[in-house]
Chains A and B, each alone.
Chain A
Amino acid sequence: GAVVSQHPSWVICKSGTSVKIECRSLDFQATTMFWYRQFPKQSLMLMATSNEGSKATYEQGVEKDKFLINHASLTLSTLTVTSAHPEDSSFYICSAKRGQDYGYTFGSGTRLTVV
């Protein structure tokens, strides 16, 4: 149990376009979802925390207008990278927290390359 599906696994887009990444909890309701960014050989950097039906809380330094997060249901959160540029190229990972048992389940990540 406790599976989080993240799509796409990889995406290549042209500079200036927008890309949407989906994160779904398949067999549980996620009270909170998290979006991370990971640079090569580095740790995970939390970008934002989202709760179903409310606005996401962004970490300091993360551009909320560039990285749009929508948590429309208890099983789906999306991250949209708007007007992507090469410096947005990175590995993005979502995580879903279920209930009160402090179970944090991670998606398999999305490799974004902006050309």
Chain B
Amino acid sequence: AQSVTQPDIHITVSEGASLELRCNYSYGATPYLFWYVQSPGQGLQLLLKYFSGDTLVQGIKGFEAEFKRSQSSFNLRKPSVHWSDAAEYFCAVGPTFGNEKLTFGTGTRLTIIP
């Protein structure tokens, strides 16, 4: 069965500093991978997704992610964070053949300090 691990529950970064959020997946074939962001009391917004092709994926709000098959990772990066980036970030994998659902990681809460 597919699974996603986000090792960091909470990360604190200074405004203007770089950011990397980790995501590791377990899946037998080439995965479909997603990063979503959730502000408090809101739904999820798609930042970026990877299906195939170029392993470096560009997303919205200046985010990018790199798919590394050898490490089963899909880490999210941003070169310079803004206070508005404070939110919860979820990595997800899916769908699989015959099952259209996404499997989410436990999320990483990002705090930005001045």
Contact = CB atoms under 8 A, between A and B. Distances in A.
A107 B41 CA distance: 11
Interface residues of A, number: 23
SS class, residues of chain B in contact with chain A: loop
A49 B44 contact: no
A44 B104 contact: yes
Given A34-B101, A43-B104, A108 B43 contact: yes
Nearest to B42: A108
A109 B51 contact: no
Contacts of A44: 44, 90, 104
Nearest to B34: A104
Contacts of B43: 4, 6, 93, 106-109
Interface in A19-78: 32, 34, 41-44, 46, 49
Top 7 A-B pairs, shortest CB-CB distance = A106-B43, A106-B44, A108-B43, A43-B106, A109-B43, A43-B104, A44-B104
A91 B44 CA distance: 12
A43 B51 contact: no
Given A43-B106, A102-B49, A105-B46, A111 B41 contact: yes
Interface in B1-43: 32, 34, 36, 41-43
Nearest to B99: A49
Interface of A: 4, 6, 32, 34, 41-44, 46, 49, 91, 93, 95, 97, 102-109, 111
- Taking chain A's interface residues, is the majority helix, strand, or loop, or is none over half, making it mixed? strand
A109 B42 CA distance: 6
Nearest to B10: A41
B105 A104 contact: no
A76 B100 CA distance: 18
Given A97-B100, A102-B32, A102-B95, A43 B46 contact: no
B44 A32 contact: no
Contacts of B44: 44, 93, 95, 106
A97 B105 CA distance: 19
